[in-house]
A = this chain, B = another copy of it.
Amino acid sequence: MKRPAPRILAFDVFGTVVDWHGSIAREIQALAPQVDGNAFALAWRAGYQPTMQRVRSGELGWTRLDELHRLILDELLPRFGLAHLDDMQRQHLNRAWHRLDAWPDSVAGLQRLKARYTLTPLSNGNIGLLTNMAKRCGLPWDCILSAEVFRAYKPDPATYLGVAQVFDVAPEEVMLCAAHQDDLDAARACGLQTAYIERPLEFGALNPKDVSPVPRNDVHARDMEHLAELLGS
C-alpha cells in the first residue's frame, strides 16, 4: 500500500463480490432451458446503467434497484420468447438478484479482512437484496450500506462520502474495493483509497475482460484472498 491503511473497506458487490453473470444464466436456464443464458444475463445487465440514469436524471423519483430490475425484465422477456411468464414467475425471476452466488474466494477473503477492518457493501443494490444475498452466501458484512441508505446511485459523491460520514472518518480512511475502474475513479475523486479486484470472467467465459493493473489505484488484487494478504489480514 502507498498510504496509511484504511479503517473501513467498502465493496462494490455485483461482479466484485458475486458472479451476477453466471448466477443469472443459471437461473434463467433452470426456468427456460431453451434460452441462451449468456445472452439473457448480458441483456438484463445492459439495462442497468440506462435505467439507473432515469433516476439520476430526475426522470424517475427515488426507485429501488429491485423495481428497476423488474422494469428491465418486463421489456426483456418478449425478446427471449418469454412474454407468457405471469406476475408470480416474474417476481421470482426478478429476485434472482437476491440469489447471486459469491465468487469462490469472496467469503474466505472477507472473513480474513473482517478481523482487522470494518466491512460494508457500497452497492447500488437495495438493502433487502444485499441482506438476503449476504445471508444466503455467508458474506460477513459488519453493516449494509447501499444506494438506498443515501438515496443516490453511484457514482454520486453522496454514496462514497456517505460511508465516511456514517463512520465519522476522513474520506482517505475508507477504501473502495471494486472490479470496475469507473467506480474506483469516482471514489478517488472524493478522496477515498481504491483497490482494484480482478474479475476477468465477470461477463462470462465468452467475454473475458482486461484486468491489467492501473497505476492510480492504491492496491491491485487478483481476488479477495489476495486483497486480504495485501492489506495485512
Contact = CB atoms under 8 A, between A and B. Distances in A.
Interface of A: 66, 118, 120, 126-128, 130-132, 134-135, 141-145, 148-149, 166-168
Given A118-B135, A149-B149, A66 B168 contact: yes
Contact of A166 (B118, B127, B134, B141): B127
A143 B131 contact: yes
Contact of A143 (B127, B166, B167): B127
Contacts of A132: 118
Nearest to A134: B142
Contacts of A128: 166-168
A143 B149 CA distance: 12
Nearest to A165: B128
A118 B131 contact: yes
Contacts of A130: 143
